[in-house]
Structure 1
Amino acid sequence: MLLASVLGVLMGMVMGLTGAGGGILGVPALVLGLGLSMTQAAPVSLLAVGAAAAVGAIDGLRHGLVRYRAALLIALLGALFSPLGVFVAHQMPEALLKGLFSALMVLVAWRMLQREKLQAGPSDHGAASWGQKNCMLNQQTGRLAWTAKCTATLATLGAITGAVSGLLGVGGGFLIVPAFKQLTDVQMRGIVATSLMVISLISLIGVVGAFHAGVRIDAVGWVFIAASIVGMLVGRRLCSVIAARTLQVGFASLCVVVAIGMLVNALH
């Protein structure tokens, strides 16, 4: 129980410090630290990530940063495809799942090490012109312009996020945040808040799908989940005193180390 508490707090702190992508550490903590299988770890990690993300999403809603229509569309498609991911995960060999997860962590590390472009301005309006992005904000209303292209783009993002979430037990923030940056002109604080809402919804759906497949969470799992929420709150407090680039490099390095650990574990 003590180890589950410590690992949960650490995962929550990393998630709070780095944003949505920190939740990818949940499955390795459960597999390498507590000895769970990938299929056992997935629902525990999803519930921990979802609960922690919900804390950030509620704060984003309070400040009017969440693009809630976009979040609901992505989550709806995620709901349809997440059970598919869970089903596929139960048909795959454990070693292959761990190998896929290791590859995913290396990809996340690479994305994290890419330097962010600074986007000035107090508003959440982007600076792109029409035609540059699949989804654009209306500069008068500040809301997304719901064209057919925009709707199809967000629906596709939701389907992919849901499938990966169900397959590997991750919230999907590492997909949603860079995709939103690439495909929309929403500013970063709006992207993160929207991503957290999507993650909380998709994670809950993924947990329901896992329960339906027969997976159950034991007492150690619940301790890990509760501890991760505490860690998230602590991490959000600390993120203002640590340089963003230091966090990016540290998190990316941790991802590579954990990916190697997962790969070694899979080979054994």
Structure 2
Amino acid sequence: MLLASVLGVLMGLVMGLTGAGGGILGVPALVLGLGLSMTQAAPVSLLAVGAAAAVGAIDGLRHGLVRYRAALLIALLGAMFSPLGVFLAHQLSEKVLMGLFSALMVLVAWRMLQREKREAGPSDHGAASWGQKNCMLDHQTGRFAWTAKCSATLAALGAVTGAVSGLLGVGGGFLIVPAFKQLTDVQMRGIVATSLMVVSLLSLIGVVGAFHAGVSIEPVGWAFISASIVGMLAGRRLSSVIPARTLQVGFASLCVLVAIGMLFKAGLTS
């Protein structure tokens, strides 16, 4: 129980520091640290990620940072495609799921390091000076200009995020944050807050589906979930004092290490 609490705090801490990207660490923490299977870990991870993200999203709503219409559209499409991911997860072997998860973590790490290397100062302040984005803010109203291109872009993002969320038991923040940064001119604080709202909605929808299918969560899982909320609160406070470059490189390195551990675990189960 103590180990579950420590791992939960660490996952929530990374989520708070990275803008929901740390949610991808939930499944590895449960599989490698607590010995759960991928299918057992997925609903626990989703509920932990969803609860922790909801705390951050509420804080973002209070400060007017959440693009709630965009978040609701992404979550709606995500909810529609999440069952497809859940169905596929039950058709694949444990070894294949671990391999897919490891590949995803390496991709996330590579994207994060590449973004740090090549984007020396793009749109962190809401100014699309480096090219037209798919979704642009109306600078008079401060809201998205809801063109067909913008709506289709956010809908597609929601579909992909929902399918991956259902398949691997992750919230999807690691997809939403870089996608929003590349496709919109929203400020980074708004991107993080909007991502947290989407992740909370998608995760909780996934958990409801898992409970409906008869999945139950053991006490050790509830300890992990509760601790993740504490970690999120701490991470939100620390995020303003740790340099962004340090966070990105550190998180990318951690993703690679965890991916190696997942591959090793998959080899042992073969």
Determine the structure 2 residue equivalent to 1:134: 134
Counterparts in 2 of 1:120 and 1:148: CA distance versus 1, 3 Å: closer
Determine the structure 2 residue equivalent to 1:244: 244
Rounded Cα–Cα distance in structure 2 between residues aligned with 1:218 and 1:209 = 17
- 1:71-94 Cα offsets, whole Å, 9 max, x none, are 000000011111111111011100
Determine the structure 2 residue equivalent to 1:37: 37
Matched, 1:11 2:11: yes
Rounded Cα–Cα distance in structure 2 between residues aligned with 1:166 and 1:52 = 18
Counterparts in 2 of 1:142 and 1:128: CA distance versus 1, 3 Å: farther
Note the residue ranges of structure 1 that are not aligned, 5 or more in a row. Answer: none
CA contact (8 A) 2:50 2:171 kept: yes
- 1:155-204 Cα offsets, whole Å, 9 max, x none, are 11101100000100111011111111111111211111111100000000
**TM-score by structure 2 length?**
0.93
Determine the structure 2 residue equivalent to 1:89: 89
Aligned residues: 265
Determine the structure 2 residue equivalent to 1:255: 255
Determine the structure 1 residue equivalent to 2:144: 144
CA contact (8 A) 2:123 2:181 kept: no
Determine the structure 2 residue equivalent to 1:208: 208
Q: What secondary structure, in the 3-state scheme, does the structure 2 residue paired with 1:145 have?
A: coil
Determine the structure 2 residue equivalent to 1:65: 65
Aligned residue identity for 1:181: K
Rounded Cα–Cα distance in structure 2 between residues aligned with 1:177 and 1:217 = 29
Per-residue deviation, 1:238: 2.2
Rounded Cα–Cα distance in structure 2 between residues aligned with 1:149 and 1:173 = 22
Rounded Cα–Cα distance in structure 1 between residues aligned with 2:222 and 2:40 = 13
CA contact (8 A) 1:83 1:210 kept: no
What does 1:36-185 correspond to in 2, within 5 Å?
Answer: 36-113=36-113, 114-115=115-116, 117-118=120-121, 125-128=126-129, 132-185=132-185
Counterparts in 2 of 1:222 and 1:104: CA distance versus 1, 3 Å: same
CA contact (8 A) 1:16 1:239 kept: yes
Rounded Cα–Cα distance in structure 2 between residues aligned with 1:208 and 1:177 = 24
Per-residue deviation, 1:128: 4.6
Aligned residue identity for 1:70: A
Per-residue deviation, 1:220: 0.7
Rounded Cα–Cα distance in structure 2 between residues aligned with 1:142 and 1:159 = 26
**TM-score by structure 1 length?**
0.94
Which stretch shows the higher mean deviation, 62-71 or 210-219?
210-219
Counterparts in 2 of 1:67 and 1:117: CA distance versus 1, 3 Å: farther
Rounded Cα–Cα distance in structure 2 between residues aligned with 1:246 and 1:145 = 34
CA contact (8 A) 2:38 2:94 kept: yes
What does 1:20-35 correspond to in 2, within 5 Å?
Answer: 20-35=20-35
User: Quick one: percent identity of the two aligned structures?
Assistant: 85
Aligned residue identity for 2:57: A
CA RMSD, Structure 1 to Structure 2 (Å): 1.6
Note the residue ranges of structure 2 that are not aligned, 5 or more in a row. Answer: none
